[in-house]
A and B are shown apart, each in its own frame.
Chain A
Amino acid sequence: MMQVSDDQKTAGSEPIESGAPAIDIQRVTKSFGTQRVLDGVSFQVRRGETLAVLGRSGTGKSVLLRIIIGLQTPDSGAAMILGTNMAEASDAAISEVRTQMGFLFQHAALYDSLTVEENVAFPLIHHRKEMSESDRRDRVSDLLKEVGLEGQGNKMPADISGGMQKRVGLARALALSPVILLLDEPTAGLDPISSGEIDELVLKLQQEHQLASIVVTHDMISAKTIATRIALMDKGRVVIEGSFDDLQKSDEPFVSQFLHREF
């Protein structure tokens, strides 16, 4: 099982050392009013690893992803992403880190006034200005092919299924060749076959691009398929972190209840 780090790095941006974790969450806490959703959460994720974060609804899993991408700030603790503390960095530093991260939102969050092709091209238009239009079109075409949506570029998000929207969201998240991939409930609302297809796609992308990935999910089967490690959260804390076998061997009542309920 993974040991929780005791480091107290709260400085701003630091150069990422070779072998250092791409994501280093250090005792992060977050409350909304009187409700504490994250209570001293710590873990690390290196390139090539996929950490699945599971837990009951309302245990702060999605808030954790939002803190990592910098959409929310923790009340205390540090979110060191590629050497930058997202809680304390400047807007420019946060933007720089974000260009190295891809985020798949729970409902894909596609821009509904843009076509599929324009959605995937969006990060390239804003961050790869040196790219010619034909190079950008080729890149978008390659990305859509990679997620199995070749030829769908002219469709609008409202005209495609939920599973296809997730694939477009994935393609958009990969547009800038990120080092880190964050997925918020990638199989939520999908039928079992579509869920399996998304799992296979995420696994393939992870193996090809050696990303540091965090997947927030309720789907134990999905977690077992794509994750190298699983962190189970309850009441804002990580109850257990390790492989699926470690979870099965655990004596913790909550872990047993969670596993058996899922199965």
Chain B
Amino acid sequence: MLEWFGDLGSFVWSVLCAAVTPPFQIAEFVKQLDEIGAKSFPLVALAGSAIGVVLALEAYSSLVRFGAKSLLPATVIFSVVTEMGPIITGLIVSGRVGAGIGAELAAMKVTEQIDAIEASAVDPEKLLAATRICACIIALPLLTLVASFFGVLMGWVATSFLEPISLVRFVNDGFKGASFKDFLPPTFKTCVYGMIIGTVSSYQGMRAKGGAIGVGNAATTSVVLSSLFVILADVILVKVILLIFP
């Protein structure tokens, strides 16, 4: 395990050096931003919507019990924006994108395409890994905003079926007393999730061996490790954010 972390650290350093030195692979970065960001939109929107509905329904029954149903909009909005939106986006993307990157790069590795790139005097870490990692870092906060938007919207829809309320009132009541530190730090912490997902899945893909089994293992371990590290990072980042923004 220590060897794995050591090799990962070496990989991260190598990719970082490649990412900050020209020539920059802008075309490939834009292509990956589309693949990782735009194509994850429907899935993230759906997941956010589901979370919003579930939160509204679950919170309503609990709040009614304590005579606090007026807090429902704030409960739904704060839950979605500060925690559920970011973590659900991180896990959804680690599943879809992590597996995709891990499998794609592993397939390229076992069929010598990565060697061919290197033999063509092009740095494969710059072309393949750095572009994907940067795209993940940029895409995750944007996808988190998508999840949060649909979570709030569908939370309102679900709430309306329980206690009719206008969208304007729902949002005003929900954001009452909110400040910068409630929304922006949790959204930007997803940049860390993106770095984790891009790095782990690129590393697993580019180190794959053993034909089809190796490709399958790379895809699976990319998802499992990305998801695990995203959850662990969430635990640490929540504490850090609370320390910095008490």
The proximity string for A residues 80-116 relative to B, scoring 1 for CB distances below 8 Å and 0 otherwise, is 0000000000000011101101010111011110000
Query: Do the beta carbons of A105 and B112 come within 8 Å of each other?
Result: yes
Interface centre among B23, B115, B117, B120, by most chain A C-beta atoms within 10 angstroms, is B120
Query: Do the beta carbons of B113 and A123 come within 8 Å of each other?
Result: no
Query: Do the beta carbons of A99 and B119 come within 8 Å of each other?
Result: no
Which partner residue on chain A sits nearest B107 by CB separation? Answer: A112
A126 CA to B120 CA in the complex, in Å? 9
Which B residues are CB-close (under 8 A) to A129? 23
A207 CA to B221 CA in the complex, in Å? 49
Min C-beta distance of A144 to chain B, whole Å: 17
Min C-beta distance of A34 to chain B, whole Å: 19
Query: Do the beta carbons of A69 and B111 come within 8 Å of each other?
Result: no
Majority-rule SS of B interface residues: helix
The reply to whether the CB of B1 lies closer than 8 angstroms to some CB of chain A is no
Contact partner of A95 (CB less than 8 A), chosen from B108, B111, B121, is B121
Query: Do the beta carbons of B120 and A109 come within 8 Å of each other?
Result: no
User: What total count of A-B pairs have CB within 8 Å?
Assistant: 48
Query: Do the beta carbons of A71 and B119 come within 8 Å of each other?
Result: yes
Which B residues are CB-close (under 8 A) to A112? 107, 111, 113
The proximity string for A residues 112-129 relative to B, scoring 1 for CB distances below 8 Å and 0 otherwise, is 100000000011001101
A179-211 with Cβ < 8 A to chain B: none
Interface size on B, residues (CB 8 A): 14
Which partner residue on chain B sits nearest A105 by CB separation? Answer: B112
Query: Do the beta carbons of A103 and B116 come within 8 Å of each other?
Result: yes
Contact partner of B113 (CB less than 8 A), chosen from A94, A101, A111, is A111
Contact partner of B120 (CB less than 8 A), chosen from A66, A106, A110, A122, is A122
A106 CA to B111 CA in the complex, in Å? 10
The reply to whether the CB of B7 lies closer than 8 angstroms to some CB of chain A is no
Which B residues are CB-close (under 8 A) to A111? 108, 113, 116-117
Which B residues are CB-close (under 8 A) to A109? 111-113, 115-116
Which A residues are CB-close (under 8 A) to B23? 126, 129
The reply to whether the CB of B122 lies closer than 8 angstroms to some CB of chain A is yes
Q: Which 9 A-B pairs have the closest CB atoms?
A: A98-B121, A109-B116, A109-B112, A95-B121, A103-B119, A99-B121, A126-B122, A123-B120, A105-B112
Q: Footprint of A on B, CB under 8 Å?
A: 23, 107-108, 111-113, 115-122
A-B contact pairs, 29 of them (CB 8 A): A66-B115, A71-B115, A71-B118, A71-B119, A94-B121, A95-B121, A96-B121, A98-B120, A98-B121, A103-B119, A105-B112, A105-B115, A105-B116, A105-B119, A107-B111, A107-B112, A109-B112, A109-B113, A109-B116, A110-B113, A110-B116, A111-B108, A111-B113, A111-B117, A112-B107, A112-B113, A123-B121, A127-B121, A172-B120
